[in-house]
Amino acid sequence: MAVRANPDLIDDLERFGAKDAMKCYQCGNCSAACSHSEDPYVFPRKSMRYLQMGLEKPLRSALDPWLCYYCGKCSEQCPRGAEPGETMMGVRRWLTSEYDFTGISRLLYRSWTAELLTILTVAMLTGIGFLSFGYLGGGGNLSVYDGPGAFLPPHAIHVFDWTMGIILALLLSINCIRMWHFTMRSEHAVPVSLSLYVHYLLLLPLHFFTQKRFRHCENKTPWTNHLILMLSYLTMLTLIMVFLKEMQSGPAVNWYAHSFGYLSAIGLVTTTIFAIQGRIKKDAAYHRHSHESDWMFLGLLLFVSVTGILQHVLHRAGLPMAANITYVVHLMGVVPMLALEVPFSKWSHLAYRPLAIYFAQLQQAAQAEGAIPLGRPAKPQPVA
Amino acid sequence: MRESAKQIREGSVKSEPGTDVAESEARIGVFLLRESGEASPALDIPALAEYATHLPGVIAVRTVAASSAMDPEKLAADIRKTKFNTIVLAANHPGFYKPAFTRALSLAGYDGSRVRLASFAERGDVANANRARATLLSAVQGTPFAPEVKPAPDPFNTATLVIGGGVAGIQAALEIAESGNKVYIVERTGTIGGRMAMFDKTFPTLDCAACILTPKMVAVSQNPNIELLVLSEVQEVSGSFGQFQVKVLKHATRVDAAACVACGDCARFCPVTTASEFDMGIATRKGIFIPFPQAVPNTYMIDPTYCTWVLSDGKKCGACAKKCSKGAVHLDAKDETVEIAVGNIIVATGYDALDARRVERYGYGTYPNVLNSLEFERLTNASGPTGGKIVMKTKKLNKKTKLEEWVFEPDGPKPKAVAIIHCVGSRDKNYNPYCSRVCCMYSLKFAHLVREKLPEAKCYEYYIDMRAFGKGYEEFHERIREEGVFLVRGRSATVTDRDGQLYIHGEDTLAEHLITLPVDMVLLSVGLQPSEGSAELAEKLCIPRDGDGWFRELDYNSEPNSTGREGIYVAGVCQGPKDIPDTVAQASAAAAHALRSIVAAKAKENASVPLQTISEIAGSPARS
């Protein structure tokens, strides 16, 4: 069946950061240079071609962009300056907005002002919410940080963060199902049996925790940084979601809980500063181009880490009121960051990437099982 | 007055004698106009008036104040009274006042067109009294301001300098020399012939390159109008079009060209061996050498960077001088600077191949059997190190250095698969952004040579776009395709060596598959870039270069040979990548440019009418 071309696709993708794709003359150097590109997932040239021709449907059903980790080797070698690496990044942003059923992702990616305004609004609402809860709801005292009469008692925060966590997970799950629908149910995809889905299920946690494919890139530094950042964040998330009481207790340092917190705080701050520095210096191909959403994410992450550390320090320093105020400011960063980034923006890749690897493996396994060549319709299409 | 004008229009007034007067019957009134403000001090009005009264046909001379509101009727009254039928209006800018006089003549019943202008300002140098008188005289005589009175032309040198002795330089030099004019060729290497002399075959006709070029080279050596300066470089250029003065540094060949018979005895005894530049380093030569057997001039020369005698300040060796039966070797000869005077300069400095080492991922310089295109030209050339056999390099112990080296031997192993990579360093913003124009076609030629000489070998071409734009090129492309060459659309990304086997990895963009092929030899179709020293030469010649470093033509479409400077022309690849037919055509065109000025200068010199000077004309008013 013929594919309908959308000539405006390239203009749309420009807003997502794929600015130079039209320069590409399809030499294929990028695909051959890439250490992840392997039959049948040959990229980035093919995705660039879809983009140039406005083949929206094949692009939407492609897993290739998620198999790229943007080491930048393709962009370095590109004879045309078409920035295949950045194009793949742009396609990933576009795919995120396509998977998202609410349309929020599309709005945030395409408009810098909308993103900023949303963050500010959510931050203000969070601030007002927690302040009014502290004064009115819990009847807490601003000068008490910990124990009875605390301004923001851990059990109350627990209720809030678990509610928020469940809502975000739900939103992300819906988007993941849409991703599955676009990629695994496309007309070119091979039907996969349930037993295969179960057989390869362990791939998901494996790739989620290790990101071992990233290590195949020639330059290992980005993988190391990414892994430290991710593990630091996961540790911190676990501490907050499960051990918040221990974390908030004080002013004495509770080494059993706090040592983990300190390690992950160091990991978060150093990797974030490293990433910001790289993007300012533009010394590597993968840092040369920064979308507004990249800056927003790094800025929020740094803000959240620094305020988190500060409220902890202020509490230990015997300044409960300052610690409480910083805590509220900290939450004003955390809530918009998680609420916007996880289901609608950059952080959704925590789900999409392992899923794409899983789906790609399933496709290959199913193809081997059924010996149906990839790239052709699984069953003959009825003539319209 | 209105009435008389009407009568003239209606033809009712009978023509007075003088409305159609012959020159002998001219009754001329000279009106010298005094213009306020800008009157030149040299414009001596009374003197000019005095001069004018004696000119033949002049009835009267009037000196009037110039004014934009001159009354034609008053002038007509004067004309009628004095019976002028012709008026000479003399001023710096007399044209401004002409309408009033035209009308006055008509009103007086004469032909209004008989107003002649003597414009002092238009004739240049207003300070020259003789020139003012000559201007007035030509107006009175009714002859155009004599073209002969232009100052005598500057002496024009009819000799031409051609920089670069490749096929472009040879073609241009022959065109000019065969028309009987002097040509100097300055060539940096030891022979003319350039890159084309290295080639085996030309595309798309597969003609033998040497069979086309060597007769032209011999013609150069035999033409008495051509003076050939090899091992020479242009050092300084002064003067301008017609009179260039060029200083040329002539490195000593240390062999007397007149005495040397190219017997080769000297080289046999020379203890020094080094890589041959002509063979692109895949063969060796001696310290005293001839670039290749058909070199022009056909003379041996000494390379002072390797010569034992030169390096030891004459203390060691000297075998060549001792063995030469003609006594032609003069080891102590010195470099000299010669000055040549020419009228035109043709620049034909050609190109260098891109250094493939820069594109690291193809392993050139690391893997012995990755060759660049010029190396392959020498390998496949019958006069090359293997006699034209396409073989792989083999490891061999160098007895002198005791090191193992990779060398071409005529009986070396034949490659079973050869890959050719297009666009190496071309169409790539990291190297040369432009298309080098010839690589697609020479790569197809290579594929043909591989298939012809090794029919059992596979040949793969990795291309991005196949540019077969010339006459017969598309047909050539199709022919090669039919000969069983595998054309892969996609630029390969890497060449790797695993256990002595080369692998080439790239995407076949038509099949959308990544392919890895084991091959024995990889040929890199490297792009062309301006030859070394182009920037310095452009500076010496004061001619512009474009962004890619090629010499810039004056106009892309209409003046592709001219540079920004009159008398300096470009020919061949130094203006931009082009194939042999285009190079030769452009060289002939450059020669035509030079010949145009040479022929014009000679015509002036030979003009039969002697040139008159201003004072001669002005001093002989009664000449007519």
The predicted structure's pLDDT at residue B17: 42
What tokens does B201 get? 């075959």
The reply to whether A303 and A353 lie within a common domain is yes
The predicted structure's pLDDT at residue A139: 66
Which residue in the set B464, B465, B514 is minimally distant from A31, CB to CB? B514
Q: How confident is the model at residue B125 (pLDDT cuts 50, 70, 90)?
A: low
Question: Looking at the complex, does the CB of residue A47 fall below 8 Å from at least one CB of chain B?
Answer: no
Structural domain includes residue A362: no
- pLDDT tens sequence across A108-140: 999 999 999 999 999 999 999 998 888 876 667
Structural domain includes residue A382: no
Question: Looking at the complex, does the CB of residue B358 fall below 8 Å from at least one CB of chain A?
Answer: no
Which residue in the set A26, A29, A42 is minimally distant from B513, CB to CB? A42
Whether residues A28 and B506 touch (CB distance < 8 A) is answered with: yes
Between the alpha carbon of residue A297 and those of residues A290, A329, B95, B553, the distances in Å are: 11, 17, 79, 53
Q: How far is B515 from chain A (nearest CA, A)?
A: 9
Between the alpha carbon of residue A174 and those of residues A66, A118, A167, A338, the distances in Å are: 18, 22, 11, 17
Which whole number is the average pLDDT over B45-51? 86
Which residue in the set B423, B489, B514 is minimally distant from A42, CB to CB? B514
Q: A32 contacts in B (CB within 8 Å)?
A: 490-494, 505-507, 514
Query: Given its phi and psi angles, is residue B470 left (phi above 0), alpha (psi -120 to 50 degrees) or beta?
Result: beta
Q: How confident is the model at residue B56 (pLDDT cuts 50, 70, 90)?
A: confident
- pLDDT tens sequence across B78-117: 888 888 889 999 888 888 888 889 999 898 888 888 899 8
Q: Are B349 and B192 in contact (CB under 8 A)?
A: no
Q: A27 contacts in B (CB within 8 Å)?
A: 423, 464, 490-491, 509
Whether residues B506 and A81 touch (CB distance < 8 A) is answered with: no
Q: How far is B506 from chain A (nearest CA, A)?
A: 5
Q: Which residue of A has its CA nearest to B426?
A: A79
Q: What percentage of residues in chain A have a pLDDT greater than 70?
A: 95
Residues in chain B: 624
- Please name the residues between 322 and 381 in chain A that touch chain B, using a CB distance below 8 Å: 375
Question: Looking at the complex, does the CB of residue A32 fall below 8 Å from at least one CB of chain B?
Answer: yes
In this structure, what DSSP letter does residue A134 have? I
Q: How confident is the model at residue B139 (pLDDT cuts 50, 70, 90)?
A: confident
Secondary element (H or E) of residue B34: strand B28-34
Tell whether the model's pLDDT for residue A262 goes beyond 90. Answer: yes
Which whole number is the average pLDDT over B439-454? 97
- pLDDT tens sequence across A311-364: 999 998 888 899 999 999 999 999 999 999 999 999 999 999 999 999 999 999
The predicted structure's pLDDT at residue A251: 79
Whether residues A32 and B512 touch (CB distance < 8 A) is answered with: no
Q: A25 contacts in B (CB within 8 Å)?
A: 427, 464-465
Which whole number is the average pLDDT over B143-168? 78
Tell whether the model's pLDDT for residue B452 goes beyond 90. Answer: yes
Q: How confident is the model at residue B39 (pLDDT cuts 50, 70, 90)?
A: low
Q: Which residue of A has its CA nearest to B489?
A: A27
Whether residues A42 and B494 touch (CB distance < 8 A) is answered with: no
What is the pairing mode between strands B417-424 and B458-463?
parallel
Smallest CA-to-CA distance from A164 within A116, A127, A126 is with: A126
Q: Are B378 and B277 in contact (CB under 8 A)?
A: no
- DSSP per-residue codes, B598-615: HHHHHHHHH-SSPPPPHH
Which residue in the set A27, A37, A79 is minimally distant from B514, CB to CB? A37
Structural domain includes residue A128: yes
Instruction: Identify the CATH number of the domain defined by range B2-145.
Output: 3.40.50
Residue B390 contacts by C-beta under 8 Å, 6 or more apart in sequence? B379, B380, B414, B415, B418, B449, B450, B453, B454, B521
What is the rounded average pLDDT for all residues in chain B? 88
The reply to whether A34 and A149 lie within a common domain is no
Tell whether the model's pLDDT for residue B618 goes beyond 70. Answer: no
Which whole number is the average pLDDT over B169-173? 98
Domain boundaries, chain B: 2-145, 154-251+336-350+531-624, 252-334, 353-529
The reply to whether A78 and A108 lie within a common domain is no
Q: Do domains B154-251+336-350+531-624 and B353-529 have the same CATH topology?
A: yes
The predicted structure's pLDDT at residue A246: 86
**Residue B458 phi, psi dihedral angles, 5° rounding:** -85, 145
The reply to whether A304 and A246 lie within a common domain is yes
Question: Looking at the complex, does the CB of residue A33 fall below 8 Å from at least one CB of chain B?
Answer: yes
The predicted structure's pLDDT at residue B14: 42
- pLDDT tens sequence across B529-568: 999 999 999 999 999 999 999 999 999 999 999 998 999 9
Whether residues B491 and A32 touch (CB distance < 8 A) is answered with: yes
The reply to whether A167 and A194 lie within a common domain is yes
Higher pLDDT, B126 or B215: B215
Mutation target among B491, B494, B508, B525 for the A interface, most CBs of A within 10 A: B491
Give residue A27's domain range: 9-99
- Please name the residues between 470 and 489 in chain B that touch chain A, using a CB distance below 8 Å: 489
Which residue in the set B423, B429, B506 is minimally distant from A32, CB to CB? B506
What tokens does B606 get? 């030979």
Out of A378-382, B292-296, B375-379, B448-452, least confident range: A378-382
**Domain boundary residue, one of A99, A130, A160:** A99
The reply to whether A40 and A162 lie within a common domain is no
Structural domain includes residue A373: no
Which residue in the set B429, B490, B514 is minimally distant from A27, CB to CB? B490
Q: B506 contacts in A (CB within 8 Å)?
A: 28-29, 32
Q: A26 contacts in B (CB within 8 Å)?
A: 464, 509
Whether residues A79 and B427 touch (CB distance < 8 A) is answered with: yes
Number of CB pairs < 8 Å for A and B?
Answer: 63
Tell whether the model's pLDDT for residue B21 goes beyond 70. Answer: no
B616-623 long-range contacts (CB < 8 A, ≥24 apart) are B617/B134, B617/B137, B617/B138, B617/B146, B617/B149, B618/B130, B618/B131, B618/B133, B618/B134, B618/B137, B619/B130, B621/B51, B621/B54, B621/B55, B621/B56, B621/B137, B622/B56
Tell me the pTM.
Answer: 0.80
Structural domain includes residue A368: no
Which whole number is the average pLDDT over B193-212? 95
CATH top-level class of B154-251+336-350+531-624? alpha beta
The reply to whether A154 and A138 lie within a common domain is yes
Which whole number is the average pLDDT over A260-287? 93
Instruction: Identify the CATH number of the domain defined by range B353-529.
Output: 3.50.50.60
The reply to whether A90 and A119 lie within a common domain is no
Which whole number is the average pLDDT over A138-151? 78
**Domain boundary residue, one of A73, A99, A125:** A99
- pLDDT tens sequence across B297-340: 999 999 999 999 999 998 999 999 999 999 999 999 999 999 99
Q: Which residue of B has its CA nearest to A33?
A: B493
Tell whether the model's pLDDT for residue B10 goes beyond 80. Answer: no
What is the rounded average pLDDT for all residues in chain A? 90
Q: How far is A38 from chain B (nearest CA, A)?
A: 7
Q: How many domains does chain A have?
A: 2
Q: How far is B323 from chain A (nearest CA, A)?
A: 56
Which residue type occupies A270?
Answer: T
Whether residues A32 and B492 touch (CB distance < 8 A) is answered with: yes
The predicted structure's pLDDT at residue A188: 83
**Domain boundary residue, one of A99, A133, A162:** A99
Q: Are B504 and B462 in contact (CB under 8 A)?
A: yes
Tell whether the model's pLDDT for residue B9 goes beyond 50. Answer: no
Angle between helices B167-177 and B209-222 (to 10 degrees): 40
Q: How far is B147 from chain A (nearest CA, A)?
A: 59
The reply to whether A147 and A244 lie within a common domain is yes
The reply to whether A64 and A115 lie within a common domain is no
B21 exposure class (CB count in 10 Å sphere: 0-12, 13-18, 19+): middle
The reply to whether A108 and A93 lie within a common domain is no
| Domain CATH for A74 | 1.10.1060.10
Tell whether the model's pLDDT for residue B148 goes beyond 80. Answer: no
Which residue in the set B494, B509, B513 is minimally distant from A26, CB to CB? B509
Tell whether the model's pLDDT for residue B342 goes beyond 70. Answer: yes
Whether residues B491 and A46 touch (CB distance < 8 A) is answered with: no
Q: How far is B576 from chain A (nearest CA, A)?
A: 20
- pLDDT tens sequence across A41-77: 999 999 999 999 999 999 999 999 999 999 999 999 9
Cα–Cα distance between A62 and A188 in angstroms, integer?
10
- pLDDT tens sequence across B398-439: 888 888 899 999 999 999 999 999 999 999 999 999 999 999
Q: A33 contacts in B (CB within 8 Å)?
A: 361, 493-494
Whether residues A32 and B427 touch (CB distance < 8 A) is answered with: no
Cα–Cα distance between A94 and A111 in angstroms, integer?
13
Which residue in the set B465, B505, B514 is minimally distant from A39, CB to CB? B514
The predicted structure's pLDDT at residue B493: 82
Q: Which residue of A has its CA nearest to B427?
A: A79
Q: Which residue of B has its CA nearest to A78?
A: B428
Question: Looking at the complex, does the CB of residue A25 fall below 8 Å from at least one CB of chain B?
Answer: yes
- DSSP per-residue codes, A58-114: HHHT--HHHH----SHHHHH-TT---HHHHHHHHHHHHHHHH-SSSHHHHHHH-HHH
Which whole number is the average pLDDT over B167-188? 97
Which residue in the set A32, A45, A375 is minimally distant from B494, CB to CB? A32
* ipTM rounded to 2 decimals: 0.86
The reply to whether A84 and A137 lie within a common domain is no
Mutation target among A24, A27, A53 for the B interface, most CBs of B within 10 A: A27
Q: A31 contacts in B (CB within 8 Å)?
A: 493, 507, 514
Q: A79 contacts in B (CB within 8 Å)?
A: 423, 427-430, 491
Tell me if residue B503 falls in helix, strand or coil: strand
